[in-house]
Amino acid sequence: GESVGLHLPTLSVQEGDNSIINCAYSNSASDYFIWYKQESGKGPQFIIDIRSNMDKRQGQRVTVLLNKTVKHLSLQIAATQPGDSAVYFCAENKGSGGYQKVTFGTGTKLQVIP
């Protein structure tokens, strides 16, 4: 069936280093991908999105890479800060006949070591 998964459940990085969070998806028909950040006690916060006609998109300190050949998505965070500590979810979206189906990954916990 359709699934969105993450390679690593927990990622620890030193403050100031770059972080890379990976995500694999199985539905080749998915055409829209989103990364969310969820801090403790809060709802998921939209970080960045990318459509399937792109392979890279940059935001403020974040970059999302999409490799449709191997169905892989990654989130790169530059100069990781303590405030980046959170759980990060990827999500894939498949639109069909006006209906969207969004599938969320289980999440990767990012721990920033001061």
Partner 1 sequence: EAGVTQSPTHLIKTRGQQATLRCSPISGHTSVYWYQQALGLGLQFLLWYDEGEERNRGNFPPRFSGRQFPNYSSELNVNALELEDSALYLCASSLTVYSNQPQHFGDGTRLSIL
- Residue closer to partner 1, measured from CB, 18 or 28: 28
Strands, sheet with 56-58, edge to edge from the N-terminal-most edge strand: 4-5, 19-25, 72-77, 62-67, 56-58
Half-sphere exposure of 76 (CA within 13 A, CB side): 10
Figure out which of the listed residues 8, 20, 29, 102 binds partner 1, where binding follows CB under 8 A: 102
Q: How far is the CB of 16 from partner 1 (least distance, A)?
A: 29
Q: How far is CA 10 from the centre of its chain?
A: 14
Site for partner 1 in 30-89 (CB under 8 A): 31-32, 34, 36, 41-46, 49, 51, 89
Q: Specify whether the CB–CB gap between 110 and 19 falls below 8 A.
A: yes
- Residue closer to partner 1, measured from CB, 52 or 76: 52
* Contact residues for partner 1, defined by CB under 8 A: 31-32, 34, 36, 41-46, 49, 51, 89, 93, 95, 98-102, 104-107
